[in-house]
Amino acid sequence: MLRHMLIARGIDEEAGLLENHGALDLWLSCRGQEAAQVGSAMAIGDEAVIFPSYREHAVAVVRGIDAVSLTAQWAGRTFCGWNPRVHRFFPYTLVLAAQALHAVGYAIGQGLQNTAETVVVYVGDGATSEGDMSEALNLAAVESARVLFICQNNGWAISKPSHEQMLTSIADRANGFGIRSWSMSADDPDSTLLGCLEARRYVETSASPGLIELRTTRIGGHTTTDPHATYREPGELAAAIANDPVVKYRERLVAAGVVDDEWLGAVDADVAKARQELLRAFAP
């Protein structure tokens, strides 16, 4: 998991720099959300079909999508740089929560064909305010669709804080539709993996939908064009940086003797290679 997190971090940083140089049109950073994304992606495994939002770069890394394929759409070269069938990872969706309906429709279709495929959909906290999300939750509940909704609550919908978006939690709202839910802090990939594993097992054994809210942190701006320091409290931003899940996990595994300099050096070389590939493909 640390390897996936470090590779995602490297791709994310390089893509942000490329956007600053005008080589990409836009970039939406996943900085700070790597533990939520890698922990959940490892829990749902290789077989589940994933309907992502637009910020799930670390999930894409877990699914074996390379740096250039992941970034090509943001350079305007393609609508989707990877083969969704091969990676079982559908194209990014920028229309908020539309992918929730795609996922439920897909799961209902799969159910009719009697396959045991589990469908996973990633949404943000802001996206849960969309009508599509309510329709998707209700339809999934009444049709017993095998969909695991993973909501990354990163505290913000652009500049709107989560606590101003809703009076109840996302997890509570899912219960209102008759869907079992969980809510957990997702700054650590190990506990995130265990929490998501429980949610996945519930969906698979009960053949009904579930929703897990992963409370995470957006360290960067909403996009590369978002001056987020203008609306975030300096203390909140400083705490987010100090709580960086990639740095924390790396330190923890080093201290526990799980990884050593040799292992980290090999991963750093892979990160450098991915960054070089991005530069070769997109640098102006």
Ligand X SMILES: Cc1ncc(C[n+]2csc(CCOP(=O)(O)OP(=O)(O)O)c2C)c(N)n1
Q: Three-state SS across 19-81?
A: HHCCCCCCCCCCCCCHHHHHHHHHHHCCCCEEECCCCCHHHHHHCCCCHHHHHHHHHCCCCCC
156 to 185: interface string for Mg ion, x by CB under 5 A? x-----------------------------
Q: Name the residue nearer to Mg ion (CB basis): 18 or 212.
A: 212
* Positions 143 through 172 that interact with ligand X (CB under 6 A): 154, 156-158
Work out how close the CB of 96 gets to ligand X at its nearest, in angstroms, rounded to a whole number. Answer: 4
How many residues touch Mg ion under the rule CB under 5 A: the total is: 5
Q: Is 266 in the site for ligand X (CB under 6 A)?
A: no
CB 73 within 8 A of CB 81: yes
DSSP string, 6-18: HHHHHHHHHHHHH
Q: Is 124 in the site for Mg ion (CB under 5 A)?
A: yes
Residue 95 contacts ligand X per CB under 6 A? yes
Applying CB under 5 A, does 29 fall inside the site for Mg ion? no
Among 204, 15, 155, 33, CA closest to 41: 33
Q: Give CA–CA dist 171/184, Å, rounded.
A: 10
If binding is defined by CB under 6 A, does position 215 make contact with ligand X?
A: no
As measured in angstroms, the least distance from the Cβ of 64 to Mg ion is: 26
Sign of the CA dihedral running 67, 69, 74, 80: negative
Answer yes or no whether residue 55 interacts with ligand X by CB under 6 A.
Answer: yes
Cβ-proximal residue to Mg ion, closest one: 124
Residue 185 is given by DSSP the state: E
Cβ proximity to Mg ion: between 125 and 244 the closer is: 125
Q: Which residue has the tokens 């839910």?
A: 181
Residues near ligand X (CB under 6 A):
55, 94-96, 124-127, 130, 154, 156-158, 222
Residues near Mg ion (CB under 5 A):
124-126, 154, 156
